[in-house]
Every structure is written in C-alpha cells, then in structure tokens.
Amino acid sequence: MGPAGAVQEVRQDDRMTDAPAELVHYAVADAVATITLDSPHNRNALSRQLVTELVERLERAGADPEVRVVLVESAGKVFCSGADLSEATAEGMEVGARRIVDLQRLVVTLDKPVVTKNLGAVRAGGIGIVAAADVAISAEEATFALTEVKLGLAAAIISLTVHHRMHPRAAALTTLGGEVFGGAEAASYGLVTRAVPADSLDDEVAAVCASLATGAPQGLRESKRILNRDLVARIDALGEEMATTSARLFASDEARAAMTAFLQRSK
C-alpha cells in the first residue's frame, strides 16, 4: 500500500519499567515517522541520553521501508534549549561536541526528508537540529537565540549547518548579538523554511509531510543527496575543528564561570 493509502498502524516503543525514563518517543503513521523530544526537566537539552535516543530513532526511521518522511517535534513548547550545561560543567564537552556534530550529519545524510516542527523556544544547539533538517516549519510566535556568545562560547558545532542555511548578514547579527528573534525573522533569515501562526502549525506540518510522502523512495534519496552535497562536505571538512573549538571554549574559565552562574540563576 502506498504512502497516500489508508492509515498505517501506529507503532510506538515499548516502555521498560526498569530503565531510565524515555526522553525521545517514536511512532509511525501514514509513512511519517514522528520523533518527539520529551525531556521537560531540562527543556529538551541535548543530554547524552537524549542525543543517544534521538540518533537511535533517526536510524530506525531511516531503516524502515514503510517510512518516507521523518518529523522531529517536541512534546512541549520548548523544542530544544541547547547543550546540557549541567553535564558540560561537570564532564566537559569533548565527547558531547562530536556527538552533536554526528547528529547533525545524520539528519543531513538520512535517505529520507527530515522535517522539524517548532511551536516555541529553540536555543543554541537546538538551532543546529533545525538547520540540519531539510524542511523546518515554525510558529511565528516561536523564539530563537544563538546564546553561546553570552556565556563566553561560540556557535561552533552548529555553525556547520546554521551558517549554511542563514544569510551571512543575518548569521553575523544573530551569532554576535545572541539576542532573541522570532519565527518570521527566522524565515526571512533562511533558518526555517516557513513560519505560520501557531494555530495553523499542525495543519501546515501535516500538509508538508503528506506532500513529501508522495515521493518515491529512490527519488527522495537521490534528490536529498544532491541538495545536501555541499553541506555534507562542509560538515566533513570542518566538523572536527568545530568540535575541538567547542570543547576548548566549554573548558575555559570564562565559560565555566558564566555557565555556573546561569545554572544557579535557573534553579
């Protein structure tokens, strides 16, 4: 049965009562794999567990012949708050930075279109996921900020995808300023594909996913490879350098002091 046919059976991960609470949920219906970030305690920060589960769900969708499109969304309004600063201050970012580079590369190279749906806040590293996606639909009311500069850091690992998508002047303004900007601005900057009123977001995303799902698997795969060829080359050429830079900055006295102060204010 083709992707435009009857609704497929929805499949969800089994929960293990003796395992840590699942932070990333997975379900499939109508040829669309929906991956939902659900870590409210840290506003969907990119913790080790969340990134590990997100990678597993993306790979699962990529291997499923019934899936044509992958949708990444959040259970609450916050899409992703960026790096998990509590982990970064305790353990450093040597491994975490490379893990986030690999996550972006996986989104970019997955053989199926990846769509992000964003209702609310996206910060720092979360913007890298949005930028890596093939199609990003945002609510006009959503907010974005590349906040790294405020903490003595730099948008290093996410620059691989963010600076590929955003217009150079917009990238300079948002990266150096670190200020909040809205969904409509994100669309005008090239960061997201389209911004719509919040009450239209579900319908807009459903329509985009349904349209993408009409593509033949080979057509989707080969078209995406052509579209993302330059971005993949950019990640491969600069990924290690940006991961090293990120880890160095996170380990600096200036950044550690700023992150500690931020975490204390957030308690």
**103 touches 160 (CB < 8 A):** no
pLDDT at 192 over 60: yes
Amino acid at 40: P
CATH number, domain with residue 256? 3.90.226.10
pLDDT score for 261: 87
pLDDT score for 49: 96
Residues linked to residue 128 through DSSP beta bridges, in sequence order: none
133 found inside a domain: yes
Query: Does 56 qualify as catalytic in the annotation?
Result: no
Per annotation, catalytic residue among 73, 91, 141, 148: 148
231 found inside a domain: yes
Full-model pTM? 0.90
pLDDT at 168 over 70: yes
pLDDT score for 190: 98
2 found inside a domain: no
pLDDT at 134 over 90: yes
Domain range spanning residue 177? 11-201+217-266
98 found inside a domain: yes
Q: How many domains does the chain have?
A: 1
pLDDT at 12 over 70: no
pLDDT score for 88: 72
Q: How far is CA 146 from CA 24, 41, 234, in A?
A: 24, 21, 20
pLDDT score for 18: 52
1 found inside a domain: no
Q: Which of 162, 95, 87 has its CA nearest to residue 122?
A: 162
For 113-123, the pLDDT digits (tens) are 999 999 999 99
5 found inside a domain: no
Q: How far is CA 155 from CA 116, 168, 241, in A?
A: 20, 14, 13
pLDDT score for 188: 98
210 found inside a domain: no
206 found inside a domain: no
